Amino acid sequence: MTRTTKLWLALFGVLFVAGCSGTSGAWGWYVIDPSTAQGQSNIRFLVGGFWATILLSLIAAALSMMIGLLVALPGMSSNRWVRLPSRIYIEFIRSIPLLPMLFWVFYGLPVVMRSLGFPITIDAFWGAIITLAISDSAFTAEIYRAGIQSIPKGQTEAARTVGLTYSQTMRYVILPQAIRRILPPLANQFIYIVKMSAFASVIGMQELTRRANELVVTEYRPLEIYSLLILEYLVLVLIISFFVRWLERKMGSDESR
């Protein structure tokens, strides 16, 4: 266990002990007390949001990786008119806060689509995914760009002189080399998506944060419930960052092979 993990666990331990032993009534851990039937059912309700949060984040991350690549590639063209749309996309998307974008996608996009002759409905789940994916894609695009540009120009030149096309050069020569510089920051970016997925709660998506909010409304125990909520994100993020470390080590050792 890393030092930060221990520190966090210690902090929660102290809070928990303080809460349970307190006599003032300021704490009410009973809402999530696993030894009572009500506590158990509350915990099950809260933890039940894990699946939605994870699914939401995974799909959004996968889409963001695809969009990011499609934005990054023209962004590295030697032709400025090919580069321009990519730059505009990145600067534009990067400067929109997530919440307004979420509202725009959820409430506005269906209207736009309908007026264009595509009558679609966007539910909370897909609204959140589209928003997270687009918002994150500006960052993944920059990660791809940095990774690809770290490969010496001579690699492209050599590939082109042995007859490979642009896309073959990317696929067989550049991306396989860039991937070890791209994957660790991409995995890191996944942590960002997981945390930002909490915003999906405001459009009614039943993920971790939404469920906590709903329970707070019926139980009036925000402190205890939000503490557990934070703990849930903590566990999720810690698992991912262990994975990122592992990936970084693996990629690093590949490099020195």
Nearest distance from C-beta of residue 59 to other proteins, angstroms: 30
**C-beta closer to other proteins: residue 3 or 80:** 80
Interatomic CA distance for residues 32 and 39, integer angstroms: 4
**C-beta closer to other proteins: residue 91 or 254:** 254
**C-beta closer to other proteins: residue 172 or 242:** 172
**C-beta closer to other proteins: residue 165 or 218:** 165
**Helix, coil or strand: residue 247:** helix
What is the signed CA dihedral for 19, 25, 31, 37, rounded to 10 degrees?
A: 100
Interface positions with other proteins (CB under 8 A) = 152, 154-155, 157-165, 168, 172-173, 176-177, 257
**C-beta closer to other proteins: residue 21 or 78:** 78
Contact in structure between 28 and 20 (CB atoms under 8 Å):
no
Contacts of 7-14 with CB under 8 Å at 24 or more apart are 8/234, 12/227, 12/231
Nearest distance from C-beta of residue 178 to other proteins, angstroms: 10
**Helix, coil or strand: residue 27:** coil
**C-beta closer to other proteins: residue 24 or 161:** 161
Interatomic CA distance for residues 10 and 236, integer angstroms: 18
Nearest distance from C-beta of residue 98 to other proteins, angstroms: 37
> For residue 152, what are the CA distances in angstroms to 129, 146, 149, 185?
35, 12, 7, 20
Name which of 68, 71, 136, 69 is nearest 102 in CA terms: 136
Nearest distance from C-beta of residue 143 to other proteins, angstroms: 19
Sign of CA pseudo-dihedral 209, 212, 216, 221: negative
Nearest distance from C-beta of residue 223 to other proteins, angstroms: 53
Nearest distance from C-beta of residue 37 to other proteins, angstroms: 58
Query: Can you state the angle between helices 50-75 and 80-94, rounded to 10 degrees?
Result: 150
Nearest distance from C-beta of residue 251 to other proteins, angstroms: 12
**C-beta closer to other proteins: residue 23 or 161:** 161
